[in-house]
């Protein structure tokens, strides 16, 4: 069985073979209440037991989203609606699906169907999000039906909700491909944005293989949800970027996280350093949220570093953590804001990195945590572009020659997405940040991260590959080790006490 369990400040999902720990953001209200009064003792008490509310799914859980007192869970062949205490309210069956090679998604082929070629296929939830512009609705995109999405009008019961297949046969056979084929078979990240009365869906797809009988999906795209809500449309032939043909199947881009801030949308990816390299690194993709043609699109490398504070031996050197495992954007508490020189409403990008295996995107059990104010992030984008530390996008343009964009402002909200000159560039300078916890997680693989302000503090919740949760409040200037944290062993359920951070506790 595949379980979601709530322990104090965190909710985790056991994903079967998946190592990623997913955090239920909607349960932070409980976390705030439970963290108000720290335990007087910092000693780890292994005799403490807890009666933990839990939810068990019959198939691996893929995605979670919290909305207005409900937690929606996307699993293989199932969608679930839960309370914030993880009690099941309803479920909706999404598979297995009987698919026929020459039958359009969600269509009944009737007597023309070749039943001998039909096959039952599991429907893995690839993307799950809530859209509220027209109605309160849950959009789920699965691995069946060529990645087509379904929208569920949110009511008391998923089982009784009105469900619409978001596919229009007449609009999915043009030169631009299939705009309704949202999710890819190798991984998808979807971000919906409402701007000026138009609902745009930005989509990043790991393009390794194509759905049978369809052209390969676009690597990065923006599409409009139709007013009728029965599907999507591309704005033009400039609404997507594709890997050059010779790289399809050999240049995977994994989209790890996506968010909207100000006039921009951002996607964080893991991909190869360049088209001729076998090494991998992390990039931040930035595009204009109001741009239907991706006129201002840029990628910039990002890495997290660990540098010994005292170089006792000449062999001491900086360690580079290159593979992003998880990220989260949130506002910071007063202490961290003062430390970073931020205003109260400014946001910060919290990231968990790992060192990769050689020439591989697979992580090693060694991690760091880096933070980057979005103000600084946008400064780097503007600064490097203005200084011409850029080149053409090798994987999209087929050439990595130097290319510049000269303008007085490259990211002003008054020009973002407007007609005129634009750029599609790759920054050649890597943004480097220092590990905020100074090596405390160098023997741990962090797989999830979330942060939120709680009074003066900023609380970071970290999940590990071996099923543990560490919760760290920032209560002072950056120090060599976290001062207090909540440690939860979700494998053995021994304890969840505030404690200092001896290395033995988290390994």
DSSP state of 35: T
Sheet holding 323-331, edge to edge: 323-331, 347-356, 363-373
Round to whole Å and give the CA distance between 400 and 403.
8
CATH number of the domain at 64-100+121-195+222-242, please? Answer: 2.40.10.480
For all residues of the chain together, what is the average pLDDT?
80
Q: Are 73 and 15 in contact (CB under 8 A)?
A: no
Q: Tell me, what's the pLDDT at 27?
A: 35
Looking at per-residue pLDDT, the higher value among 16 and 74 belongs to 74
The arithmetic mean of pLDDT across residues 347-368, rounded, is 96
Under the banding of pLDDT at 50, 70 and 90, the label for residue 25 is: very low
Q: List alpha helices for 329-410, DSSP H.
A: 334-340, 374-386, 394-397
The secondary structure of 320-349 as a DSSP string is: EE-EEEEEEEEE--HHHHHHHT--TT-EEE
Output the pLDDT for position 489. 42
- Helix, strand, coil % in the chain, rounded to nearest 5: 10, 40, 45
- Residue 389 · residue 405 · CB < 8 Å: no
Tell me: pLDDT of 395 over 90.
Answer: yes
Better-predicted residue by pLDDT, 212 or 356: 356
**pLDDT tops 80 at residue 253:** yes
Whole-structure pTM value: 0.85
115 has a pLDDT exceeding 60: no
Q: Average of pLDDT values for 204-225?
A: 79
114 preceded by a cis bond (ω within 30 of 0): no
At residue 114 the predicted structure's pLDDT band, cuts being 50, 70 and 90, is: low
- The whole-number average pLDDT for the span 481-502 is 36
């Amino acid at each position: 069985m595949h379980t979601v369990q709530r322990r104090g400040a965190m909710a985790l999902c056991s994903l079967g073979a998946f190592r990623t720990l997913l955090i239920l953001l909607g349960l932070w209200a409980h976390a705030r209440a439970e963290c108000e009064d720290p335990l007087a003792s910092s000693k780890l008490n292994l005799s403490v037991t807890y009666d933990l509310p839990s939810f068990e799914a019959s198939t691996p859980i893929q995605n979670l989203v919290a909305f207005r007192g409900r937690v929606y869970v996307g699993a293989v062949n199932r969608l679930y609606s839960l309370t914030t205490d993880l009690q099941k309210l309803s479920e909706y069956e999404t598979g297995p699906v009987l698919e026929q090679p020459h039958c359009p998604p969600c269509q009944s082929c009737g007597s023309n169907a070749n039943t001998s070629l039909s096959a039952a296929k599991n429907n893995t939830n690839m993307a799950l999000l809530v859209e509220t512009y027209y109605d309160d609705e849950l959009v789920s995109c699965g691995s069946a039906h060529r990645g087509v999405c379904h929208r569920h009008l949110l009511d008391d019961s998923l089982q009784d909700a009105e469900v619409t297949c978001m596919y229009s046969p007449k609009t999915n056979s043009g030169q631009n491909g299939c705009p309704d084929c949202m999710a890819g078979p190798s991984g998808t990240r979807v971000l919906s944005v409402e701007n000026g009365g138009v609902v745009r869906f930005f989509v990043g797809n790991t393009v390794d293989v194509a759905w049978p009988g369809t052209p390969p999906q676009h690597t990065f795209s923006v599409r409009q949800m139709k007013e009728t809500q029965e599907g999507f449309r591309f704005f033009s032939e400039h609404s997507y970027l594709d890997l050059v043909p010779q790289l399809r199947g050999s240049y995977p881009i994994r989209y790890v996280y996506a968010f909207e801030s100000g006039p921009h949308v951002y996607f964080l990816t893991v991909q190869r350093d360049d088209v001729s390299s076998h090494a991998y690194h992390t990039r931040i993709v930035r595009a204009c949220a109001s741009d239907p043609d991706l006129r201002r699109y840029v990628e910039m490398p990002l890495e997290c570093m660990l540098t010994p504070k005292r170089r006792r031996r000449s062999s001491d050197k900086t360690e580079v953590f290159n593979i992003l495992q998880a990220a989260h954007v949130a506002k910071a508490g007063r202490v961290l804001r003062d430390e970073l020189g931020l205003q109260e409403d400014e946001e910060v990008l919290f990231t968990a990195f790992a060192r990769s295996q050689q020439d591989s995107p697979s992580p090693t059990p060694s991690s760091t945590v880096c933070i980057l104010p979005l103000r600084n992030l946008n400064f780097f984008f503007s600064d490097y572009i203005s200084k011409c530390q850029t080149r053409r996008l090798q994987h999209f343009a087929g050439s990595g020659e130097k290319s510049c964009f000269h303008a007085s402002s490259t990211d002003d909200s008054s020009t973002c997405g407007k007609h005129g000159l634009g750029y599609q560039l790759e920054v050649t300078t890597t943004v480097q940040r220092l590990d905020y916890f100074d090596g405390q997680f160098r023997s741990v693989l962090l797989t999830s991260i979330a942060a939120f302000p709680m009074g003066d503090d900023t609380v970071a919740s970290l999940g590990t590959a071996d099923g543990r949760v560490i919760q760290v409040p920032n209560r002072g200037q950056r120090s060599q080790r976290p001062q207090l944290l909540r440690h939860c062993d979700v494998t053995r359920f021994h304890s969840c006490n505030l404690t200092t951070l001896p290395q033995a506790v988290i390994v």
